Amino acid sequence: MTGFLRWCRNTISETARMVRADAALYLFVLAYTVAGLFLLQLTDTEDSATYWVYVRRWAILFILFFPMVAIIIDAARVVHRLNARRGLAMRRAFSPARMATLASGVALLMVMVLFQGTFTSLKNAMTYWRDGFQYDRIQADIDRLLHFGVDPWRLLYSFGEHDVIRTMVEWNYNVLWFVLCFGLLFFVATSPRAAAIRGRYITCFMLTWIVCGNVFATLFLSAGPAFYGEVTGDAARFAEQLAFLARGAESPNSRLPTRLISGRCMSPAPRASAPAYPRFRASMSRSSP
């Protein structure tokens, strides 16, 4: 028991040290949250605030699921690689330093619930700041110009208009993107192997969301092809694309349920827009470290 108590004491002490070392990241989250709430209050859009929606999901992912996966992987590596002296290897794999890295990373990720909630809250308010979506037609025209006078989705359909490909893309959009984005964030935040890039990666992660998902999204606000007809009056331009997507309406990863939910952002009330992620994912895939 003495050894266990010593292990607990050392783990707590090392965790506290690592949390203090993350002070700049905590302050960044706090500053962004305060600035976001102030902006919502200043523009009379405070009812766009959305925070609690992330708490349960992030707790399940970052307190339960990902830590359990990390512990199982660490233990499995010891069992797989060693036939002798496994006890010593296990003590090293779950040393106070290793568990403190895990605990301090989880603590930071849970505080980042505030960051994610602020991001979504500001995203919800964008249409009210810009008085609707003003750039869909010009962005679609630029797309067509860049693709030699053809809407790019038609070029993709020349080889990709198959239900299997649609299902794969929808699964990537709804499942794989989240696993890669937040699984990698968890690994960097909690693994000693990522210590050299940890602060830089998490800072760039947050800046990418802010610059691409808040600043650029507000400056060049558009509803996207799914709502193009609703915001421009030209329903024909993407009608074939939407008809193709409708073929998978019963799929759990179909984009149509999100489209129906997102449709609330087309009208002034209620002040609830699309889920925060979809139109940000392309930028995230290009901009994340």
| CB burial of residue 52 (10 Å; 0-12, 13-18, 19+) | exposed
Digit-coded pLDDT (tens) for 45-90: 999 898 888 898 899 999 999 999 999 998 888 887 777 677 778 8
Q: What is the share, in percent, of the chain residues with pLDDT greater than 90?
A: 55
> Structure pTM?
0.83
**In the predicted model, what is the mean pLDDT of residues 128-136?**
90
Structure confidence at residue 175 as a pLDDT band (50, 70, 90) = confident
**In the predicted model, what is the mean pLDDT of residues 5-23?**
94
Residues 6+ apart with CB under 8 A from 133: 127, 221, 222, 223, 227, 231
Residues 62 and 147: beta-carbon distance below 8 Å: no
For the cut 70, the answer to whether the pLDDT of residue 14 exceeds it is: yes
Digit-coded pLDDT (tens) for 199-225: 999 999 999 999 999 999 999 999 888
* Three-class DSSP category at 189: helix
Digit-coded pLDDT (tens) for 228-255: 998 999 999 999 988 888 887 677 777 6
Closest CA to 265 of 91, 42, 105, 45: 45
* Three-class DSSP category at 25: helix
Residues 222 and 136: beta-carbon distance below 8 Å: yes
Alpha helices in the chain (DSSP H): 2-21, 23-42, 52-59, 66-81, 86-93, 96-129, 136-146, 152-160, 163-171, 177-190, 198-208, 217-219, 228-232, 239-246, 255-262, 281-287
Rounded to 5 degrees, what angle do the CA atoms 141, 242, 216 make?
A: 45
- HSE of 235 in the Cβ direction (CA atoms, 13 Å)? 2
Report the alpha-carbon distance of residue 236 to residue 271 in Å, rounded: 28
Report the alpha-carbon distance of residue 281 to residue 176 in Å, rounded: 11
* Predicted local confidence at residue 256, as pLDDT: 62
Virtual CA dihedral for 220, 46, 48, 29, nearest 10 degrees?
A: 80
Digit-coded pLDDT (tens) for 21-52: 999 999 999 999 999 999 999 999 999 898 88
Residues 244 and 161: beta-carbon distance below 8 Å: yes
Q: Which residue has better confidence, 157 or 141?
A: 141
Rounded to 5 degrees, what angle do the CA atoms 221, 224, 229 make?
A: 110
Residues 194 and 257: beta-carbon distance below 8 Å: no
Report the alpha-carbon distance of residue 137 to residue 232 in Å, rounded: 7
